[in-house]
């Protein structure tokens, strides 16, 4: 066996240097504001500014468009490390990738040149796919885009849009051919925050990730140039689903980061907490809980990293691994954060410690970018051919 073969199971020195740099930034400029961001449900502007200044807000943007050109694993490491300190803030790099990836995968060189350098400079990019009555069933969307000369006119709404109102740009899916077979008449467009007729609903009141605004997109006769369509007419839904194959991996990374933060907190606490004359860390029952938490976490991390490598290569089995990584990691994060609350006892149930926030934040990772029930359907279909 050669050393090269074993290196397949190690992150590179560059990846670990990146991790150290992001962790230092998070500990100093992100984590200190996480509790306040959660309590006030306010956008993490300090984290945003720090991430932009360090080029961690959208590390996936290619160098040719003034980005840093981070690979898929590096992007996941950024998201993981930010989520370890503040899940709301981790949605800045995660959603910037989600919103812009359809453009990267399917846009013309001219369209990429128009928007990607602005994303690299700090202007955000969100993603508009779901609607009130079209969540998991994306093909039943009702938002329409009607051709009018050199323009399209968009009408409809999108629900559950992360960082809506903060981002400058939005990838919006709309029906351009209502007579086409199901899912075949949908196209993707870039809508700008300043477009006339484009507004936002009220902020959703949520269980977790309270610092990341979630709002509806409201499109009322929004007239945009036809060259803002991404790719060809009717290719929007396959592009959207291909995007999710890649970005589900980043949700897995977010879940891993939340879980790591919870495990770190729990380990630190049980080493300090005294009961019956000794540290509770010395009780075997506590040790078993910690061991189970650590094993779940490392299993999830390895699955996410493998999926990230497959995303970078655009492997044909990415659909399986992306769904599996997101599902496994988010389920693990939920288990680990619940156990962290348990290990902290009464303190875990209070806002004096971040365990309860981490538990609330972890829940959404089982829901967005496809519920874990949908992920299991995807995995099963891949198995069954």
Neighbours of 350 (CB within 10 A): 11
Q: DSSP code of 57?
A: S
Tokens of 220: 């009322």
Whose tokens are 């790099």? That residue is 93
Active site residue 369: yes
Contact partners, residue 368, CB within 8 Å, separation at least 6: 160, 162, 251
Cα dihedral sign for 107, 369, 314, 89?
positive
Contact between 174 and 228 (Cβ < 8 Å)? no
Whose tokens are 């348990």? That residue is 342
Furthest CA-CA distance within the chain: 80
- Classify burial at 6, counting beta carbons within 10 Å of its beta carbon; exposed 0-12, middle 13-18, buried 19 or more: exposed
Tokens of 370: 């496809």
The values of phi and psi at residue 368, to 5°, are -80, 165
Tokens of 234: 């009717």
Question: Cα torsion for 207, 208, 211, 212, to the nearest 10°?
Answer: -100
Cα angle 331-336-339, degrees, rounded to a multiple of 5? 130
State the catalytic residue, choosing from 80, 123, 216, 369.
369
CA distance 212 to 319: 27
3-state SS assignment for residue 62: coil
Neighbours of 270 (CB within 10 A): 20
- Beta-strand pair 214-225/151-162: antiparallel
Residues carrying an active site annotation: 369
């Amino acid at each position: 066996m050669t050393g090269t073969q074993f290196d397949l199971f190690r992150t590179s020195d560059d990846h670990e240097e990146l991790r150290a740099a992001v962790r230092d930034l998070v500990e100093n400029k992100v984590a200190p504001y996480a509790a306040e961001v959660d309590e006030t449900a306010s956008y993490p502007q300090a984290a945003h500014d720090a991430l932009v200044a360090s080029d961690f807000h959208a590390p996936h943007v290619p160098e040719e468009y003034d980005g840093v050109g981070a690979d898929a694993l590096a992007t996941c490491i950024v998201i993981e490390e930010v989520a370890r300190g503040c899940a709301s803030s981790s949605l800045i790099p995660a959603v910037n990738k989600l919103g812009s990836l359809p453009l990267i995968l399917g846009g013309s060189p001219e369209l990429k040149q128009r928007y990607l350098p602005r994303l690299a400079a700090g202007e955000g990019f969100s993603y508009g796919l779901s609607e009130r009555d079209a969540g998991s069933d994306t093909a039943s969307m009702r938002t329409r885009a009607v051709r009018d000369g050199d323009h399209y006119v968009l009408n409809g709404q999108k629900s559950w849009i992360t960082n809506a109102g903060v981002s400058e740009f939005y990838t919006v899916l709309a029906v351009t051919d209502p007579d086409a077979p199901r899912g075949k008449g949908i196209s993707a467009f870039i809508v700008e925050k300043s477009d006339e007729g484009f507004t936002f609903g009220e902020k959703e009141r949520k269980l977790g990730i309270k610092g990341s605004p979630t709002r509806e997109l409201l499109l009322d006769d929004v007239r945009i140039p036809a060259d803002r369509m991404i790719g060809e007419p009717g290719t929007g839904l396959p592009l959207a689903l291909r995007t999710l194959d890649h970005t589900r991996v980043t949700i897995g990374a977010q879940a891993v980061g939340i879980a790591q933060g919870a495990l770190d907190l729990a380990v630190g606490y049980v080493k300090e907490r005294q009961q019956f004359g000794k540290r509770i860390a010395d009780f075997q029952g506590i040790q078993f809980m910690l061991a189970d938490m650590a094993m779940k976490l490392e299993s999830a991390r390895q699955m996410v990293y493998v999926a990230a490598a497959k995303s970078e290569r655009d492997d044909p089995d990415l659909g399986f691994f992306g769904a599996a990584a997101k599902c496994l990691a988010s389920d693990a994060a939920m288990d680990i954060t619940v156990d962290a609350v348990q290990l902290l006892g009464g303190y875990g149930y209070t806002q004096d410690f971040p365990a309860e926030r981490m538990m609330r934040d972890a829940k959404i990772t089982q829901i967005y970018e496809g519920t874990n029930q949908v992920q299991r359907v995807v995995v099963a279909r891949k198995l069954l051919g």
